[in-house]
Amino acid sequence: MELLNSNFIVAAVICIIYFILKVSVEKNKDDKKKAFKDSALVGIVSYAVLIFRSNFVSFESSKTTTIFTNEPQF
């Protein structure tokens, strides 16, 4: 499942889904060319956002306080 955690794969899936939805809505050939350019830009932006999120935003988990009682924990 490491493949699904890859930022590139997620951005590519977003790009493909956007392209399919955009082409299904538009009817003109000129709009289809524009839809391809738009989907490429959506892919680039989503990849940049995913990289930024994974590198700069850290999700801290709530840490529980453990009390040391000098007894072994079994």
Q: From the first residue on, what is the mean pLDDT of each consecutive set of 10 residues in the chain (74 residues)?
A: 76 93 83 87 93 77 68 66
* Predicted local distance difference test score (pLDDT) of residue 3: 63
DSSP 73: -
DSSP 28: S
Long-range contacts (CB closer than 8 Å, 24 or more residues apart) made by 55-63: none
Angle, CA of 65, 69 and 70, to the nearest 5° = 130
d(CA 7, CA 48) in angstroms, rounded, equals 9
